[in-house]
Structure 1
Amino acid sequence: FPPPPCSLGARAFSSRRSVLGIGIGIGGGIGIGAATAAAVVVSPAASSSSLKMSSSSSAVGFVGLGIMGEGMAARLLSEGVAGTPEKPLVVWNRTGSKCDALKSKFADKSIEIKSTAREVVEACGVTYTMLSTPEVAEIVFGAPDGDGVLGGVSEGKSIVDCATLAEDDMMRMSREVSSEGGRFLEAPVSGSKVPAAAGALIFLCAGSRELFDEIEGSALNAMGKASHFLSDDVGAGTRAKLVVNSLMGTMVAAVAEGLNLAESVGLDGDTMIEVIGQGAIASPVYALKGPKMLRGDHAPNFPLKHAHKDMKLASDMAAKAGVEYGVMDKAEELFRAAREDKELNVADQDFSAVFEKIKKEKK
């Protein structure tokens, strides 16, 4: 990407790359620093696809405009990373109306809607992908008809995958992109719908350090409040993300059980949330999700089915590593039971809806 405008005021950004600094990703601000421009040199013998890449490399691609992707793409537009005639945002989503809605919302920005994910990658130097599940990612990434993300990868193309998938999925995609001459950055995010819209995500990156350095000061800064480069080896970002999300899911399950117990013995739930927030166990998760549980407000910021997906991936990772995981396994079982409860029908609601399962099972 070319450097962003110089008139950024006092919103300075300091990159933090230690995995010890990982947070939950609720709230917070962002800043934008200077980006590093990526030079593309095309030899006389370059292929036509390479020539096409050279002429369109300033365009920014985004595949997947769901709960998370919509907010992330909007940040690229509002912060000036993309959306100009010289540097349009090129998008595709399985549900085309999401693309239309983004274009309507940012009518003054240059946004191109493509018919396939392949066309997005072909038109851009760097393409960001944010797909909801490993199953969806497999379909969109490697579509058998060649219209997937991989179908557009050629020499010099760059893919930044921001989804939470299995480690093996990320490693396979990295190999496939590299085999076509492209660069791959694993960049799952810590944070949900609200942080995505606010540019307060936390990126957990591994893979191409060169690509990370090029986009950290522009795109990652626009979409997040912190970016951590964990390893040259793809998989480290996913492992870190699964640790974070399994811990967060366990915390939500714990506060749900605690509040259910409090109300069951005649205590006021709001008072207990206040008490919890004043002590050593205070947490943004408890402060945010506790009141929503008490009021039955489970509008999806992070759907329960996706929370369970991440917790199951973490459980599988723990089993593979041969480590004790009893507490988090119990939480994963609770989320699975809530997800599969057809009577409750909370799979698509926020993961705070695990509270409804706990209340239902109260003896």
Structure 2
Amino acid sequence: MPTSAKSENLKASHPDKSIEIKTSAKDVVSSCDIVFSMLSTPEASAAVFDDAANGTLAGVSSSSVIIDCATLAESDMKRMSDQVTAKGGTFLEAPVSGSKGSQAVFDDATVQAALDAMGKASHYFGEEVGKATRAKLVVNSLMGTMMAAFGESLALAESLDLDGSKMLEVISQGAIASPMFALKGPKMLKKDHAPNFPLCHAHKDMKLAVDAAKSVGTEYSVTQMAEETFRKAREDEELKVANEDFSAVFEKIHKESKSDYSKKRKLG
């Protein structure tokens, strides 16, 4: 759905709120003291931020507070921060962790009331722009690695003729219990990958995490293997799961498997 249509629907569904729709990022920034931005990729973020005529930066003044909630490269955040502060504005880096519902906010500044409205918790990582992004990449790299391992384990269980639902029950009662497993597992068994966090975004974040690990020289072989699995799923033109939930990596795992169960599942 086009963004303009989403805006109109949001306004219509909240008639008791004072919602104004603007036609450009510049107009939004010029009209508001605090502006939240959360775009899906570094390219999308740069396109909106840098547009000389109608972009975010074009509307920044000394009273502007720009809060960016996207998961981008650290260099992207630092560049935007430098440009906003050069115009006298304030830039806050506050990527969020979560999907629909409750979210946690990783922030490096103190517009606390606005941050409280965005998520159930906020975590302060200091004044240096980039640290909140690092924290978010750690979280998302772990989440992606967990999902890839979870998918392989579920595929193994099914291929060993074990009841998937029963295995989820066992997993939920042990030390490895996870809210993510409990939420995604039943849907994965039913091939239900309606997107909350699209697979293409998960892969983007894992690639950024791999790049971060390379930059500081830490070991990242497990993360890299998971990132490669997500990349292959994203690029698979037959599966077409790039815009499905990141749990759809499970379909790629089954597709690459040679077990009798996986072969039957592909035909089902």
What are the Cα deviations for residues 203-249 of structure 1, in whole angstroms up to 9, with x where unaligned? 1112xx3xx1xx31x22222211101101000000000000000000
How far apart are the structure 1 equivalents of 2:103 and 2:114?
A: 12
CA contact (8 A) 1:251 1:285 kept: no
Shift of 1:338: 0.1
How far apart are the structure 1 equivalents of 2:126 and 2:114?
A: 20
Match of 1:151 among 58, 82, 93: 58
CA contact (8 A) 1:335 1:354 kept: yes
2:27 is the counterpart of 1:122:
no
Query: Paired residue for 1:293?
Result: 188
> What is the TM-score of this pair, normalised by structure 2?
0.94
Question: Which structure shows the bigger proportion of residues in helix conformation?
Answer: 2
Letter in 1 for 2:176: I
Query: Paired residue for 1:235?
Result: 130
SS in 2 for 1:231: coil
Count residues in correspondence.
258
How far apart are the structure 2 equivalents of 1:252 and 1:105?
A: 35
Shift of 1:325: 0.4
What are the Cα deviations for residues 265-285 of structure 1, in whole angstroms up to 9, with x where unaligned? 100001111101111111111
Letter in 1 for 2:177: A
Letter in 2 for 1:158: V
User: Aligned runs of 1:60-209 on 2, under 5 Å?
Assistant: 95-144=3-52, 146-192=53-99, 194-195=100-101, 200-206=102-108, 209=109
What are the Cα deviations for residues 150-180 of structure 1, in whole angstroms up to 9, with x where unaligned? 0000112110001101100000000000000
Match of 1:351 among 229, 232, 246: 246
Shift of 1:349: 0.3
How far apart are the structure 2 equivalents of 1:265 and 1:130?
A: 43
Unaligned 5+ runs, structure 1: 1-65, 67-93
SS in 1 for 2:238: coil
How far apart are the structure 2 equivalents of 1:134 and 1:100?
A: 26
Unaligned 5+ runs, structure 2: 259-268
Letter in 1 for 2:72: L
CA contact (8 A) 1:252 1:289 kept: no
Letter in 1 for 2:224: D
CA contact (8 A) 1:308 1:335 kept: yes
Query: Paired residue for 2:265?
Result: none
Shift of 1:260: 0.2
How far apart are the structure 2 equivalents of 1:316 and 1:339?
A: 18
If asked which structure has higher relative contact order (CA below 8 Å, sep 6+), I would say 1
Letter in 2 for 1:246: S
Shift of 1:95: 2.4
SS in 2 for 1:127: strand
> What is the TM-score of this pair, normalised by structure 1?
0.70
